[in-house]
Structure 1
Amino acid sequence: MTGPLVVLVGPPGAGKTTVGKLLADRLGTTYRDTDADVARTAGKSIPEIFINDGEDHFRQLELAAVTDALAEHTGVLALGGGAILSPVARSLLRGRPVVFLDVGVNDAVKRVGLDAPRPLLAVAPRQQWRELMEKRRPLYTEVARAVVPTDDRTPEAAAEAVLDALELKDA
């Protein structure tokens, strides 16, 4: 199966972007983020898509971005936090080098901030984040070959843990 060397999944604030870029650098490859793909395709930010077009439309764009990236990208790929909600996306991830970057609510909120433009965390972010994780944690775990906690870890240490988990340390 061709495709990405590493696929990162996890909630907002887990470190997918930061760790993903470090991994790409370490592995001498490129980094791609499906949220960035969605925004580029739509010609507007993700919050604008949610507000103007609705979550369902965003999820359709997200699934298309995930499908394309898994077929085309050979480097490090970070998926948007909700990409795993789609049964089709979960099926496409089966058998791939997927790592769930796990994080607790306190670290996530510190990293994301309470005022960050995250549509699903706009009101009562701590409570929303907890509810979001109750629903998503089993799905992240389902698709992951490995789980790497990022709480109290530097991004560099998290990247090393991903390399260890996927046995890419000497890559």
Structure 2
Amino acid sequence: MTRPESSDIGERHDAAADMRRLAEGIAPPRTVALVGLMGAGKSTIGRRLAQALDLPFVDADTEIEHAAGQSIPEIFEKHGECEFRRGERAVIERLLDRPAHILATGGGAFVDPRTRALMKERAITIWLKAPLDVLMKRVSKRDDRPLLKEDDPRAVMQRLMEARYPIYAEADIIIETVNSPHSAAVASTLEALRAYLNERK
């Protein structure tokens, strides 16, 4: 097994320390929910954001799978998208009853009107917005995306962008993420979150 170079470990430690400094004084009064298309970086950025803010991180899709005892592709295949959205909404409602945390949601959660209303009322919503090429590069690394099980995943993703981006735009904060280190997106998110909270003092 290859061991990480000590310099790599040091760089990751320094980056985490930098993020914690950026996060000083930021105390979200309620859960921060990340929304956006698959591949936008909700889980990866969410974990780093949670670490910087010293808050728990929760992945809604993981919680849904635990509650259902099935993987999300299995839920889609056996019960259909409508039933999945119903279960997703129930899980997110339960999660929003918890103390403030960082919540990564599935790509369709914020699109569901009832789930969106719930998140708007009880969370600070952040849309991680990414261009098509970046999304496709990221989602191509995994084969567990039910909505991309077609001959032309890029065309599917384009249609999802056209349908969902106007809805994601209703989020409280919008962060443009590009093909750059996730630390840059975390830093931008922290700065935007600080400004959002300061405006509401």
What is residue 85 of structure 1 aligned with on the other side? 111
Equivalent of 1:48 in 55, 60, 74: 74
Residues 127 and 173 of structure 2 are in contact (CA less than 8 Å); yes or no, is this contact kept in structure 1?
yes
Moved over 6 A (4+): none
User: In 2, distance between residues paired with 1:3 and 1:53?
Assistant: 32
Task: Kindly name which structure, 1 or 2, has the bigger radius of gyration based on alpha carbons.
Answer: 2
RMSD over aligned Cα atoms: 1.7
Paired amino acid for 1:104: P
1:156 aligned to 2:186? no
Distance 1:72 1:84, change over 3 A: same
Q: How far is the alpha carbon of 1:50 from its aligned partner? A: 0.5
Residues 36 and 42 of structure 2 are in contact (CA less than 8 Å); yes or no, is this contact kept in structure 1?
yes
User: In 1, distance between residues paired with 2:59 and 2:142?
Assistant: 22
1:130 aligned to 2:158? yes
What is residue 59 of structure 1 aligned with on the other side? 85
What is residue 108 of structure 1 aligned with on the other side? 135
User: In 2, distance between residues paired with 1:134 and 1:114?
Assistant: 23
Q: How far is the alpha carbon of 1:133 from its aligned partner? A: 1.2
Q: How far is the alpha carbon of 1:145 from its aligned partner? A: 1.4
Of 94-103 and 48-57, deviating more is 94-103
| Aligned partner of residue 167 in structure 1, secondary structure | helix
Paired amino acid for 2:113: P
User: In 2, distance between residues paired with 1:158 and 1:73?
Assistant: 24
List alignment gaps of at least 5 residues for structure 2.
1-27, 196-201
Q: What is the number of equivalent residue pairs in this alignment?
A: 166
Query: Normalised by the size of structure 2, how large is the TM-score?
Result: 0.78
Identity in percent: 38
Equivalent of 1:32 in 37, 58, 62: 58
What is residue 140 of structure 1 aligned with on the other side? 168
Q: How far is the alpha carbon of 1:93 from its aligned partner? A: 2.1
Residues 30 and 124 of structure 2 are in contact (CA less than 8 Å); yes or no, is this contact kept in structure 1?
no
Q: How far is the alpha carbon of 1:45 from its aligned partner? A: 0.5
Paired amino acid for 2:147: L
| Aligned partner of residue 91 in structure 2, secondary structure | helix
User: In 2, distance between residues paired with 1:47 and 1:73?
Assistant: 29
| Aligned partner of residue 84 in structure 1, secondary structure | coil
Paired amino acid for 2:90: A
Distance 1:103 1:112, change over 3 A: same
Query: Normalised by the size of structure 1, how large is the TM-score?
Result: 0.91
